[in-house]
Amino acid sequence: MAKRGNSIIKGVEISEIITLLNKAYADEWLAYYQYFIEGKVVKGIMKDAAIAELTQHAADELRHANMVADRILQLGGTPLLSPQNWFTHTNCGYETPTDFDVVAILEDAIKGEQCAISVYSELAELTKDKDIVTYNIVSEILADEVEHEEDLQALHDDISEFVESIKGKL
Ligand code: FE
Ligand code: FE
Ligand code: MG
């Protein structure tokens, strides 16, 4: 644990930051696996574009898990050690894909991103002007989650519009 590094944290309990980062850490792993498996099972029109996006987001979520785990360790905490803990600590849960259609898959993924945005925006508010290093990390992740939501929504709208235009020609 970094002594001087942690002595600069003021006005917020380090233990509280560690607890909340571990919850976000659980979310990242579940989001990673959700994107991974969605990219495998997704079906339907324009699925290649969806697979490209889902695969890229899976890699981003795994990178986020890395960033959060490293910060937990710097703060003197321990990242969750067992996948079973992901379910007991998660904020955003896990949406098991039941409908593999591309539009349904994208809708599930958008919900997940909206939850992630709320989680990181709360973490940013908690650490702003108090724990600068965590603040920077969660802000960077927050920007990625905002981009993820936008990418998925844009793709969702393109596919929905395309489906409607085909229906109009029938
Ligand atoms: Fe993430
Ligand atoms: Fe994301
Ligand atoms: Mg993207």
Give the distance (Å) from ligand 2 centre to CA of residue 73: 22
Give the distance (Å) from ligand 3 centre to CA of residue 14: 32
pLDDT digits (tens, 9 = 90+) for 7-16: 999 999 999 9
Which residues have their alpha-adjacent CB atom under 5 A from ion ligand 2?
A: 145, 148
SS (H, E, C) 81-123: CCHHHHHHHCCCCCCCCCCCEHHHHHHHHHHHHHHHHHHHHHH
What is the torsional sign of CA 5, 9, 13, 17? negative
**Average confidence score pLDDT of the chain:** 96
Say if domain 12-169 classifies as CATH 1.20.1260.10: yes
Domain boundaries, the chain: 12-169
The percentage of the chain sitting over the pLDDT mark of 70, rounded to a whole number, equals: 99
pLDDT digits (tens, 9 = 90+) for 29-77: 999 999 999 999 999 999 999 999 999 999 999 999 999 999 999 999 9
Give the distance (Å) from ligand 3 centre to CA of residue 119: 19
Give the distance (Å) from ligand 1 centre to CA of residue 65: 7
Single pTM value for the model: 0.95
